[in-house]
């Protein structure tokens, strides 16, 4: 059974709109008068985490990627649960956990600790309260909307290169990504669709367009990148955790963002870059592992 088949089977099992949340998005749950947002991400040593990583950075990233999922829903974090596999450097792990929870004022609610037998893995569940309803999803982009992204793409890529190849660059963008919680909450009332850029801008544009049943026509030169010489890679590298969203083109945005394209009616594929159609076969980003 391939990963794609497994996820398709999970979606069939969920059998409802929340199925979209599987493996790529946060779940939205109505409870009484509240709208909750739930997300769960797992990091595996050697797959998502560089060998020799400081466990404090692992803890930071593990929490930050989940908070980024809440940010894209305009949700306020209520807390996290941690699934922790014990091992070397656990005191550093605690230190990083303390730092990220303090930085974003998020309570540690509970979790589980286990002994492992091989490469370690860690999971975090984050729960948040939606501050704007309807909760932004990937599925609301409409023809005529502008396509926007916060910040700069590729900073995490350069940080990764500095860690692995000795290049000069700020490693914090890769090691300690900043979930854009305040920005997501400010944007939520204004967007028609929103998600965080975790797996590469082009791939995430393709996913947003697919969920919305539209095509995103991007203007490559308008996309801010961290390294002009590696522009193509910057558009395909993940881990930046910027917010990608669509909104009516004349919206007065409450957050600084770059307009990088326009939503057009579905036109063959889901993505065009400078007029040229792109598909998944073109290597749009990082495919989940």
Q: Is the dihedral of CA 204, 208, 214, 217 positive or negative?
A: negative
Q: Which of 56, 64, 85, 141 binds its own copies (CB under 8 A)?
A: 85
Q: Quick check: 243 and 180 in contact, CB under 8 A?
A: yes
Judge whether 286 is annotated as a binding position: yes
Q: Which of 54, 64, 83, 144 binds its own copies (CB under 8 A)?
A: 83
- In degrees, to the nearest 5, what angle opens at C-alpha 99 toward C-alphas 150 and 107? 90
Q: Which of 111, 144, 220, 254 binds its own copies (CB under 8 A)?
A: 111
Q: Which stretch binds its own copies (CB under 8 A): 5-13, 176-184, 214-222, 240-248?
A: 5-13
CB of 142 to its own copies, least distance (A): 25
Which residue lies nearer to its own copies by CB, 34 or 267? 34
Asked if residue 105 binds its own copies (CB under 8 A), the reply is no
Collect all residues with Cβ–Cβ distance below 8 Å to 73 and sequence separation of at least 6: 26, 28, 37, 128, 130, 135, 136, 184, 188, 194
Q: Residue 240 and residue 151: Cα distance in Å, rounded?
A: 9
Which residue lies nearer to its own copies by CB, 109 or 182? 109
Residues 19-58 within binding reach of its own copies (CB under 8 A): 19, 21-23, 25-27, 29, 31-34, 36, 38-48
Q: Quick check: 168 and 241 in contact, CB under 8 A?
A: no
Asked if residue 17 binds its own copies (CB under 8 A), the reply is no
Q: Residue 187 and residue 136: Cα distance in Å, rounded?
A: 9
Q: Residue 206 and residue 266: Cα distance in Å, rounded?
A: 12
Collect all residues with Cβ–Cβ distance below 8 Å to 123 and sequence separation of at least 6: 40, 41, 42, 43, 62, 82, 83
Q: Is the dihedral of CA 210, 213, 218, 223 positive or negative?
A: negative
Q: Which stretch binds its own copies (CB under 8 A): 77-85, 173-181, 184-192, 209-217?
A: 77-85
Chain centroid offset of residue 86 CA? 26
Detail the residues annotated as belonging to a binding site: 25, 39, 41, 48, 69, 111-112, 196, 198-199, 239, 286
Detail the residues annotated as belonging to a binding site for substrate: 48, 239, 286
Residues that bind its own copies (CB under 8 A): 1, 3, 5-7, 9-10, 13-14, 16, 18-19, 21-23, 25-27, 29, 31-34, 36, 38-48, 78-79, 81-86, 90-91, 94, 97-98, 101, 107-119, 121, 123, 125, 127, 129, 288-289
Detail the residues annotated as belonging to a binding site for Mg(2+): 25, 39, 41, 69, 112, 196, 199
């Amino acid at each position: 059974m391939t990963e794609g088949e497994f996820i398709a089977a999970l979606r069939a099992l969920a059998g409802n709109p929340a199925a979209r949340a599987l493996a790529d998005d946060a779940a939205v749950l109505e409870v009484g008068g509240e709208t909750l947002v739930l997300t769960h991400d797992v990091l595996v040593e050697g797959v998502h985490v560089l060998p020799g990583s400081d466990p404090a950075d692992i803890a930071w990233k593990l929490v930050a990627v989940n908070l980024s999922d809440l940010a894209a829903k305009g949700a306020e974090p209520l807390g996290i649960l941690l699934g922790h596999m014990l091992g070397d450097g656990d005191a550093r792990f605690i230190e990083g956990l303390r730092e990220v929870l303090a930085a974003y004022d998020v309570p540690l609610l509970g979790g589980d600790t286990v002994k492992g037998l091989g490469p370690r893995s860690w999971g975090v569940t984050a729960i948040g309260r939606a501050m704007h309803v309807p909760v932004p999803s990937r599925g609301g982009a409409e023809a005529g909307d502008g396509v926007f992204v916060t910040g700069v793409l590729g900073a995490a890529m350069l940080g990764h290169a500095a860690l692995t190849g000795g290049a000069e660059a700020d490693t914090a963008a890769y090691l300690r990504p900043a979930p854009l919680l305040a920005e997501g909450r400010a944007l939520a009332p204004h967007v028609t669709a929103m998600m965080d850029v975790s797996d590469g801008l082009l791939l995430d544009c393709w996913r947003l367009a697919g969920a919305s049943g539209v095509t995103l026509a991007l203007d490559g030169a308008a996309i801010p990148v961290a390294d002009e010489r590696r522009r193509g890679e910057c558009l395909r590298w993940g881990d930046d955790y910027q917010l990608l969203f669509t909104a009516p083109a004349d919206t007065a945005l409450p957050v600084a963002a770059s307009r990088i394209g326009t939503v057009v009616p579905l036109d063959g594929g889901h993505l065009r870059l400078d007029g040229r159609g792109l598909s998944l076969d073109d290597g749009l980003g990082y495919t989940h592992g």
